[in-house]
Amino acid sequence: MINFLDVKKRFGGLKPGEQSQVRRLVEPDDLFDIPVFYRLGLPSTMQSARVALFLPVVAHKENAPELGEQLKDVSEQRMFQMMRSNTPADLVALRRLLRQIEPTANWSEFGKSLWYWGDQEKRKLMTTYFQHS
């Protein structure tokens, strides 16, 4: 399994211009067209692209609260819009939400949830969101 915290650290070690290339992207597929993606040392898979898309948006913090808890001030309507969307639209919507709140996450866990992103991971996020809103 990939060490997502190491990937986050590698991203932090990139030049600011390289980081901004990832920051400006809209969809995971766009990552395959920039050299920075390959410098992260991730396999060329959609799972890797999902992880890389969130590197500039979510900071690392070892004991960060769950992401759903940090999203508590986001409207239910926006959360359900993300939930009901299919990939990659759900990831784009989630990224927009996270840019708004500037969250932290334990990248060891957050990276796994992105790697396995799908209906089950979205439901976990929604459950935590409703437990804290």
Q: What are the φ and ψ backbone dihedral angles of 73, each rounded to 5 degrees?
A: -90, 0
Total count of domains within the chain: 1
The answer to whether the pTM exceeds 0.85 is yes
- Structural domain boundaries, residue 126: 4-132
Q: SS3 breakdown of the chain: % helix, strand, coil, rounded to 5? A: 65, 5, 30
Which CATH number do you get for residue 9? 1.10.520.40
How far apart are alpha carbons 72 and 56 in whole angstroms? 21
Whole-angstrom Cα distance, residue 107 to residue 73? 22
pLDDT in tens, the chain (133 residues): 899 999 999 999 999 999 999 999 999 999 999 999 999 999 999 999 999 999 999 999 999 999 999 999 999 999 999 999 999 999 999 999 999 999 999 999 999 999 999 999 999 999 999 999 8
